[in-house]
A and B are shown apart, each in its own frame.
Chain A
Amino acid sequence: MNAVTPLMPDIDFAHDDVPNLHELIDELRAHGPVVPVRYHGSPVWLIMDHGLLKGAFEDYVHFDATEGYKLIAEPSMGKTLQTMAGEEHRVSRALVNPLFMPVKVRSYVEALIEPIAHELCDRIEGQREVEFVSAFARPYPFLVITRLLGIPVEDEARFMEWAIKMIDFPWDPEGSVRAKEEFDAYMQAIIDDRRANPGDDFVSRLAHAEYEGQKLSDERILSFLGLLFPAGSDTTYKNGSSLFAELLGKPELCAMARGSDKDREAIVTEGLRWQPPTAFLPRMASADVDFGGVRIAKGDWTLFGITAANNDPAVFPDPRRFDPSRDNREILTFGRSTHFCLGMHVARRELETALRVVFERFPNIRLKPGQDVQHVGAVLRGVRHMIVQPYGEA
């Protein structure tokens, strides 16, 4: 792979903001469905075609994600569902799966998600202008997780620091490992307590889960809990920021967001297609393969171009148009096959609830005019800052 010269050599997709990502993808697409680009300074294969990417997600022979994740995530995150394969993955996923199924997630909405949305709106109330990412989009899914885990409010800030640092391994190895150690030490006390005094809460359920005679060790629970933050908080916050940025500039979409649950489901799904938070997902090839006109060798890094596939004009006509009425069954935002995102239902309910509550509380909310709101990042893509006026013009 090192002998391959990346296209657009001045751009590093691991580090650069790439606000014009969609234009770059259009340009890259002209060179083929799979092209070399630069990532962390080295050439990697970017897969953009929808059919090919769907196939890659389902192909555990050539694109088994586990080896790559062991290198970039296991040192700081421990062994997680991302780094497990086959039977071990099947049983481990089954142990935690009931906590993420639709019937369970429905109960989180009323008990947990909606009150947090209101709490954050309470803090916005009365202000003429608010930076919406830091006031709502970012803390919202994070608080869903900390409250799910039973973390006291006074420790939430500390958790935020650990959560950000733990996934920073490729950029700051020592810092991320240290953050995981501190996180583990804190959570161990809670696990010990729930093992001794089980309740109906999330950690108790994990501590006492049993499937085919197997249980979760403390180590596995800690790894799983650590994974919740990058998998469930960062992604949802990025997508939420993108979604609100799009909606708040378009009155007809705001009107639709004030409509029915089905309307909000459609808006959220279109937002997930249009600007997925994991724009490019790094994966290491697990075997040699001729793929999309190029030779990918075992050990080569690839980027699963989710944003590119979700905007593939062959599958999604006029893909840059935000259109909640389009058929979105083929979106690849949550992946595909057995490693399909476990938290998909939580993420969707969070986003739908955010729309409902924010527009209920602030029916006239809008973007402050005159801002250049940019979607940035290719690893995790979203909006960094946007000033909103909760009460509109007044």
Chain B
Amino acid sequence: MLVRFIDPDGCEHLVEGEAGESAMRCATRALIPGIIGECGGAMACATCHCYATPPDGATLPDPAAQERDMIDGCIDTRPTSRLTCQVVLAPELEGITFIVPASQV
């Protein structure tokens, strides 16, 4: 499945994602600028924040309380803000877009 990342410079990256992996893993594997995931996906570092737009007809599950708390502490949040370590890729999300914020810090 293809996942689209738009990095802080506006460059688009199409990455082959695997169902079941997190969007953060997919991004770091492809060395997408600006997505660090330094804690490894434990919602402890807030360095994998992105704005997520699922494809037409698909929705993401709402963030759990801990993810919501972490997003509250991120920079330049929007209603579409997510921690990519908590977004699990699935076939129905084919073509999902993640915009990387200008800075995580």
Contact = CB atoms under 8 A, between A and B. Distances in A.
B72 A340 contact: no
Interface stretch (A97-105, A292-300, A379-387): A97-105
Interface stretch (A2-10, A216-224, A314-322, A343-351): A343-351
Contacts of B38: 329, 331, 334, 340, 344
A20 interface: no
Contact of A58 (B31, B40, B45, B46): B40
Interface residues of B, number: 20
A3 B100 CA distance: 53
Contacts of A338: 39, 42, 44
Please indicate which of the listed interface residues B28, B45, B69, B104 has the most CB atoms of chain A within 10 Å of its own CB: B45
B37 interface: yes
Interface string A322-344: 00000101010011111110101
A123 interface: no
A329 B37 CA distance: 7
A102 B74 contact: yes
B10 interface: no
A344 B46 CA distance: 10
A54 B40 contact: yes
Contacts of B40: 54, 57-58, 336-337, 340
Contacts of B28: 329
Interface in B17-60: 28, 31, 36-40, 42, 44-46
Please indicate which of the listed interface residues B38, B40, B75, B104 has the most CB atoms of chain A within 10 Å of its own CB: B38
B37 A101 contact: no
A342 B38 CA distance: 12
A106 interface: yes
B29 to A, nearest CB: 10
A102 B104 contact: yes
A102 B72 contact: no
Given A327-B31, A329-B37, A101 B42 contact: no
29 contacts: A58-B40, A90-B66, A94-B69, A97-B69, A97-B73, A98-B69, A98-B72, A98-B73, A101-B46, A101-B70, A101-B74, A102-B104, A102-B105, A103-B73, A103-B75, A105-B105, A106-B75, A327-B31, A329-B36, A336-B40, A336-B42, A337-B44, A338-B42, A340-B39, A340-B44, A340-B45, A342-B44, A344-B38, A345-B46
In the A-B complex, the 9 residue pairs with the closest CB atoms: A101-B73, A340-B39, A340-B44, A337-B42, A336-B40, A338-B42, A102-B105, A102-B75, A103-B73
Interface of A: 54, 57-58, 90, 93-94, 97-98, 101-106, 265, 327, 329, 331, 334-340, 342, 344-345, 348-349
Given A94-B66, A102-B105, A340-B42, 17 more contacts: A97-B73, A98-B72, A101-B72, A102-B75, A103-B75, A105-B105, A106-B75, A329-B28, A329-B37, A329-B38, A337-B40, A337-B44, A339-B44, A340-B44, A344-B38, A344-B45, A348-B105
Interface of B: 28, 31, 36-40, 42, 44-46, 66, 69-70, 72-75, 104-105
